[in-house]
Amino acid sequence: MLSLQGISKGFPGVQALTDMQLEVRQGEIHALIGENGAGKSTLTRVVAGVHQPDTGSIDFDGALVSWSGPGDAKRHGIHVIYQEFVLFPHLSVAENIFIGHERRNRLGLIDHRRTRSDARNLLDKFGIDVDPTTLVRDLSVADQQMVEIAKALVHDVKLLILDEPTAVISGPEVTVLFERLRALRNAGVAILYISHRLEEIFDLCDRVTVLKDGKYVATRMIASVERDELISLMVGRSLSELFPKRNTQSADSPVVLEVRNLSIPGRVHNASITLRRGEITGLAGMVGAGRSELAFAIFGAMRSSGGQIFVDGREIHDMTPRRAIAEGIGLVTEDRKGQGLAMNLNIAANMTASTLSQFTRFGLIDFAREFKVAKQEIESYRIACRGPSTSVSLMSGGNQQKVIVARWARTSTKVLILDEPTRGVDVGAKIEIYRIMQELADQGIAILMISSELPEIIGMSERVIVMREGVITGELTRDEITEETVIELATRRYAS
């Protein structure tokens, strides 16, 4: 269906693609992977007609093509679903599906009844259970994604490109999405699937192509490739090198934070945990287990209905984020864009946000000092950017995450809570974040890491606390931590 040969694309000061090749067959789901900066986004934009290649050829559906723009590519059957949906929230599902292709009557007026009927037929055809009359703003993120797919299906779609489609959904929603994509594959649609999540690629895709530094590396059949080989192809190092060497902490290391019988109505029930100096403790469980809520309550960002919090043996009454920061506790939230970063500000402002008082005098910010500190942190955390004045909105997910970690590492002298610290970042960025975590632990900081990735839990944790439906079901020591023991506790029934 699609064949690229010798594709190169450069921008001022940057060679994004060099002699790139890619082949996607009809009726297959083909994964495209690589670290941030590998060239995935540029390549898909070339395929979709957003960028014109400097050299090389594009063969689509048996003919050499040269797109005049995205509209030209779309008319020939190429449709892209980006991470940020292109939907009109105040219009209905049906209106969004047929935007630009409105159903009209003989007078040229929009035929709303036909629009709704055609939308219902299209949604039913692919098992998408969404009411065509519902406003898009009232849909869940997962259903909005289904509307994006339905928009593509209005056309004679031959190639569907999805860019990190599961970044905004999880659990059952991912299962439904995969069912829809398999149905499209079986109908003969070629699908190019871009993701950082290797477990999804092994579960869903037929073949995988690896990019690195804007160049083609290899294409493999999923059935005959191992996870370790893919990681090695992407980053040039093996799976055994993914996690840093851990320094074992003894069981008698000082307890820096203790939580006793903490409860949040409907969320967390009588949770008790201890965090020790210099130890990385994993907090595992299924989606909805109450892990994030527990973290927010410890940090004072969510009110508890009962329980006690002790820092260095002192009980802290009425914990608030301000008090938590003063006590040396930091929280890196799961939603880095919505809750972690000020997307319109630069790196320097984001790094100093939690310690702004240290950079102000008489109500004025000392920008020179702020930039000096930010420059040091950029070097220390190996953040890829042009400097402290770079807007975080222009950075990759992995580098954005390192900015947040750098910010909280400045204030977290005792405890750092990391909620899904590597979600949505590539393998190379994961390795860097793991290194940073271990270095912070080596400095004596107690780290509580919430993660849904079992290899991450196993590879980084000295102890693992497991939750299910708001209840802590067990705790595992290092020698007891396996995928089987974690899953058993995460699915264990408890006495009510």
Dihedral sign for Cα atoms in the order 117, 118, 119, 125: positive
Provide DSSP, 341-408. Answer: --TTSBHHHHHTGGGGGGGEETTEE-HHHHHHHHHHHHHHTT--SS-TTSBGGGS-HHHHHHHHHHHH
Model pLDDT, residue 414: 93
Looking up tokens 């089987």 gives 484
DSSP state, 206? S
- The secondary element (H helix, E strand) that includes residue 57 is strand 55-60
Give the model's pLDDT for residue 29.
Answer: 94
pLDDT at 490: 83
SS3 call for 119: helix
Nearest to 283 by CA among 131, 100, 463, 446: 463
pLDDT number for residue 279: 93
Q: What is the pLDDT of residue 495?
A: 47
Closest CA to 406 of 381, 389, 438, 379: 381
The mean pLDDT values, 10 residues at a time, for the chain of 496 residues are: 90 82 93 81 89 90 87 87 80 85 81 87 78 86 78 81 77 78 89 86 92 88 87 68 70 88 91 94 85 92 90 92 91 78 83 78 82 85 82 80 84 90 78 88 93 85 90 90 84 57
The pTM of this model reads 0.61
What pLDDT shows up at residue 313?
92
For the chain, which domains are there? 2-237 (3.40.50.300), 255-490 (3.40.50.300)
| Structure token digits, residue 198 | 């290797």
